[in-house]
A and B are shown apart, each in its own frame.
Chain A
Amino acid sequence: MKRPGDRLRALACRCFDTRTMQRVVDPAIADLQREPVSIAGYAAVLKVMLMCGWQEVTMSQHEWTSDDRRALTRALAGAAIVTVLVTLGLEAPFVPYAWHPGSVDQKLPLYLAPQGLPLAIAIGVTLGMLFGLEGRQFSRRVRAWLLVLASAASIVSFVDLAWITPAGQQAFRMAVFGHPGMMRDAPELTLGELWQFTSPDFVFNFHSRFALGCAPLVLAVFALTIVRSQRTRRWTVGLTAMAVFVGYYIVLYGGRSLALDGKVPAYAAAWLPNVTLVLLSAAMAALSARRRRDLMTTGLNAKA
C-alpha cells in the first residue's frame, strides 16, 4: 500500500545521493507520514527537495569531478557556438541589403535578429547537449546544472518572443515601408496586446510564444534523455537532432493549420509539439530505465 509521500520519495531517490536522502529528505517524509495528511506537509517536503536541489546545483566548482567539468564545459561551449552560428546564419541573407548603396536603414539585420534568436537558442541548446555529452560520463549535478541553464535560456527566449521580436518586426516594417500609422498584425503585437483578440490566428500566436519560450527546456530534457541512453552513437545523435527539429516545426505548423481551420483549439495546437516531446522523453526514459534494470538483473543472475 502506498503511504503519503512515497511517490515524492521515489522522485527524490532519483535526484539525490544516499546521504542527502538519509539526513534531509527521509526525516521530512517520515514526519509527513506520521502526521495527519495536510497540504502544508506536502509543501514542506517539496520545499526541502527544492532546497536540496539548489544546494546540489550551487555546490562549488572544486567539488566537481574532471568528467563533470569537461561534460558541462563541452555542452555549454557547443550550445554557445551553435547559437551564435545559427543567429549569424539567419542574419546573413539580410546583411548585403543593409550595406547596399541606397539602403533604407543599415540597422535592418538588427531589427530581424530577435526573430531568429529563439530558434538559434533552441537549436544551440539541443545540439550543444547532444554532441557535448554524447559518450561521456556525467553526474546528476551536471544534468541539474544544464536544466537550470536551459530554463534560463527559455526565459530569454520567452522575453524575446513576447516583447522584443514584435518591436523589432515593427521597426523593420517602418524602416522598409515607412508608414508611421501602418496596421500591426499578430507578429507585431506584444503579448499584452495579443491577449485582447479571440480569432484563432491571434490566440495561436499568443500561446505559441509561451510554447516556443519553453522549447529550449523541453528540448534540453529530450536531449538529456537521448544521451543517457546506452546505445547512443554520434550519427544517431545527429539524425535524432535533425528529426526533432523538423518534427517540432511540422507539428507546430501542422497544428496551426488545423487551428486556423477550427479543427483543434488554437492553444492546444500551440502546445502540441512540446507535449509530444515531453511524452516522447518520458517514454524513452522509461525504456532506458527498464533496459538498465534488465541488464542489472541479468548480471546478478549470472553472478548467482
Chain B
Amino acid sequence: MTARRPRVLTLSAKESLILELLVEREDLYGLQLVAASKRKLKRGTVYVTLGRMEEKGYITSRLEDAPADVGGMPRRLYQATPLGRRVLATWTAAATHLMPEFAR
C-alpha cells in the first residue's frame, strides 16, 4: 500500500465511528475498537480501515510498550489527530445541519 494523499477529505460511516471512539477514549488497539463499537466494526476489516485513516491523517499510531515477558508482537495503539477531530466535528455538524433526522 503506497501513501496516497486524498484530494477531498471524506469520512465513511466506519471511519466516523472509529474517530468517535478514539475521541472518547484515546489509545485503543484494533480489538478494543471492535469491542467498543458493539459489533459495528468487524475484526477482519478494522485494520484496513485504520491503515487508510492513518494515510489520510485522521489518526496516528504507536507501538505499545509491552513488557518483555508478554508473548507476541507489540500491539499498535491508535489516537485521533487534530485533523481527524476537526473532520469529525465538521462532518457531524454538516450531517446535523443537512439531515437532522439522521443526526446522532
Chain A positions near chain B (C-beta within 8 angstroms)? 3, 16-17, 19-20, 23-31, 33-35, 40-41, 43-44, 46-48, 51-52, 55-56, 59, 63
Given the complex, which residues of B lie within 8 Å of A48, measured CB to CB? 44-45, 47-48
Q: Please give, as numbers and ranges, the residues of chain B lying within 8 Å of A33 by CB-CB distance.
A: 71-73
Does B51 sit at the interface, judged by CB under 8 A? yes
Q: What separation, in Å, do the CA atoms of A24 and B71 have in the docked complex?
A: 20
B27 at the interface (CB under 8 A from A): no
> 8 interchain pairs (CB within 8 A)?
A17-B1, A23-B1, A23-B51, A31-B43, A34-B75, A41-B43, A48-B47, A59-B2
Complex: A56 Cα to B70 Cα, angstroms = 33
The minimal Cβ–Cβ distance linking A46 to chain B, given in whole angstroms, is: 8
How far, in angstroms, from A25 to B73 measured CA to CA in the complex? 12
Query: When the two chains form their complex, are residues B72 and A56 in contact, meaning their CB atoms are under 8 A apart?
Result: no
Alpha-carbon distance between A63 and B2 when the two chains are bound, in angstroms: 9
Q: Residues of B at under 8 Å CB distance from A?
A: 1-4, 29-31, 42-45, 47-48, 50-51, 54-55, 61, 70-76
* B70/A34 in contact, CB under 8 A: yes
Min CB distance, A22 to chain B, in Å? 8
**Do B30 and A28 touch (CB < 8 A)?**
yes
Taking a contact as CB atoms closer than 8 A, the residue among B1, B51, B71, B75 that contacts A3 in the complex is: B71
Residue numbers in A under 8 Å from B31 (CB-CB):
31, 35
B72 touches A24 (CB 8 A): no
Whole-angstrom distance between the alpha carbons of A57 and B29 in the complex? 28
**What is the chain B residue whose CB lies nearest that of A21?**
B1
The interface centre, meaning the residue of A26, A27, A29, A33 with most chain B CB atoms within 10 A of its CB, is: A27
Closest to A22 in B: B76
With beta carbons under 8 angstroms apart, the residue of A27, A40, A59 that contacts B29 is A27
Chain A residues positioned under 8 Å from B76 (CB to CB): 23, 26-27, 30
A20 nearest CB neighbor, chain B only? B1
Which A residues are CB-close (under 8 A) to B55? 23
Considering only CB atoms, which chain B residue lies closest to A33 in the complex? B72
- Asked if A56 contacts B71 (CB within 8 A), the reply is no
Known A-B contacts: A26-B76, A31-B30. Give 8 more (CB < 8 A): A23-B50, A24-B1, A24-B47, A30-B73, A31-B31, A44-B44, A47-B45, A52-B48
Q: Which residue of A lies closest to B66 (CB)?
A: A34
Verify B1–A31 contact, CB threshold 8 A: no
Closest to A47 in B: B44
Question: Taking the nearest CB of chain A, how far is it from the CB of B62, in angstroms?
Answer: 11
Measured CA separation A48–B29 after assembly (Å): 16
Contact B48 A24 (CB under 8 A): yes
B43 CB to nearest A CB, Å: 4
Question: What A residues does B48 contact at CB under 8 A?
Answer: 24, 48, 51-52, 55
Residues in A with CB closer than 8 Å to B71 are 3, 33-34
A55 to B30, CA, bound (A): 20
The distance in angstroms between the C-alpha atoms of A44 and B76, with both chains bound, is 16
Neighbour of A56 across the interface among B1, B47, B50, CB < 8 A: B1
In angstroms, Cα B48 to Cα A31, docked, is: 14
Q: Given A30-B72, A34-B70, are A55 and B45 also a contact pair (CB < 8 Å)?
A: no
Which residues of chain A have C-beta atoms less than 8 A from B42's C-beta?
Answer: 44
CA distance A59 to B1 in the complex (A): 8
Residues in B neighbouring A59, C-beta threshold 8 A: 2
A76 to B30: give the CA distance in the assembly, Å: 40
On whether the beta carbons of B1 and A16 are closer than 8 Å, the reply is yes
The complex places the Cα of A148 from the Cα of B19 at a distance, in Å, of 35
